[in-house]
A = this chain, B = another copy of it.
Amino acid sequence: MQETRLDTARIRAARRVIDPVFLDTPLYRCEALEAGLGCTVSIKLETANPVRSFKARGTEVVASLLADNGSRAAVCASAGNLGQALAWSGRGRGIDVTVVASRFATATKLDRIRALGARLELVHGDHEMARERAAAIAQYDGIRLVEDSLDIETCEGTATIGLELMDTEPSFDAVLIALGGGALATGVGHVVKAMAPEAEVICVQPLGAPAMAQSWRRRRVVTTDSTDTIADGVAGRHPVPDVLDDLLVVADDAVLVQEASIIAGMRMLLRHAGLVVEPSAALGVAAIIEDRDRFAGRHVVTIVCGSNVDVDAYHRWVGGAPKPGP
């Protein structure tokens, strides 16, 4: 394999600094999904942990290094999941965490960031504006800016998922990975291409937020002026060049899916797997729905990467859902 910024030995070492509550997550075949999808489906479930997404694998590595270096503060921009994860990882290590988010971010994600003790600053714009503001805070306060997907720790921490996928029985033919900033795709992709190169690494992004997928296709950074998707966790507009370079090495494909397919995927995961997921976590199933022939009869792993969803919005998307509880 051509080199990426990632290193398999460092990825193995990352397991030692990540709280075990985020490691060795469920990996299981879900036969009830298979009739509707026409292929063998295994789920890698990254939602059954204190922050309900995979992001803490990366922030645990970040925060561990910060603590080792005596750093006491960090700031990040987040659509909500990275912020929760950094807040969780920082809290346990005495690191003050500031999270900058769009005021249009998912409300429950913002509530959880506050509840975990982080300082939350909202910008009146999208995720790219939050990134600019976080960079400004880091410069002004002289604290560490945690940049998801650019910072190698976020990629290598996330890549520990890839190590765990090597236990899949029987071995898989393809892995479907939600594509946003690229930490998940380059992390998992690096390990898969290093350890099981015959397996296809397929990244999936919404048609309404296609910047990274289009960049991969054209082999150069493509930015977009806006995004239009319910998959808030992957709705970036400005791909990072270094991350794109890694993605060009490890990804076999980057596909774009429609919103209706994402919703159909969420519905199938509820009905046949009993899983409530956020839209980004249904991208893999959406990709199968849109191209059944491609996957027919093959063994596909899909990473269910997060479940932080507003119950009321979930209701609107999947068609009926719970009223406010106690």
Contacts and interface: CB of A to CB of B under 8 A. Distances in A.
A308 B28 contact: no
Interface stretch (A41-49, A94-102, A170-178, A208-216): A41-49
Interface stretch (A63-71, A222-230, A266-274): A266-274
Contacts of A32: 112, 115
A325 interface: yes
Interface string A43-61: 1010111101000000000
A320 interface: yes
B267 A325 contact: yes
Nearest to A319: B323
Contacts of A30: 50
Chain A: number of interface residues, binned into ranges: 35 or more
Contact of A276 (B27, B275, B308, B320): B275
Nearest to A274: B307
A119 interface: no
Interface in A293-326: 307-309, 311, 315, 318-326
B274 A325 contact: no
A128 interface: no
Contacts of A264: 325-326
